[in-house]
Amino acid sequence: MGRKQTEGHVDDADLTRADSLAREIFAGVANKWALLIINALADRTLRFTELRTAVDGISHKMLTQTLRGLERDGVVHRTVYATVPPRVEYRLTEAGVGLLATVDGMCAWTHQYLAEIEAARTRFDARAAGTPPQA
């Protein structure tokens, strides 16, 4: 994290607060649903039902909770239109677009190392179950 200088000294209170906030934000955006939502909103604005369709397997409740967290952290912007029924749309904020590059990098990493990851998991699970590893 960045360090705030006060007459040549690091302001420990600011550093501690920034680190705490970073951990809180990372916990909110580093879950599978948040990453999938950020990816779905990459270059478009979507309504709630469109997002739910785009993020396969997410429940209504989990989508609502995750969107609220992303909105609170300034990653997603929510627009409510005064129509009947109300229309709500979601899009990435500037900060969300900045985060998207990191999400894309993580996805690219996963695709690049998918075979190695799956093999490591298979070996680990076999050891954990007491099963001899397969060649």
Of 16, 2, 88, 9, nearest in space to 49 by CA: 88
| DSSP code at position 75 | S
Sheet holding 46-47, edge to edge: 46-47, 87-92, 76-81
* pLDDT tens digits, 36-95: 999 999 989 999 999 999 999 999 999 999 999 999 999 999 999 999 988 999 999 999
| Tokens coding 111 | 């695709």
pLDDT grade for 108, boundaries at 50, 70 and 90:
confident
Tell me what percent of the residues of the chain surpass a pLDDT of 90: 59
Residue bearing the bigger pLDDT, 54 or 2: 54
- Give bridge partners of residue 6 from the DSSP assignment: 9
Residue bearing the bigger pLDDT, 46 or 100: 46
| Tokens coding 131 | 């099963």
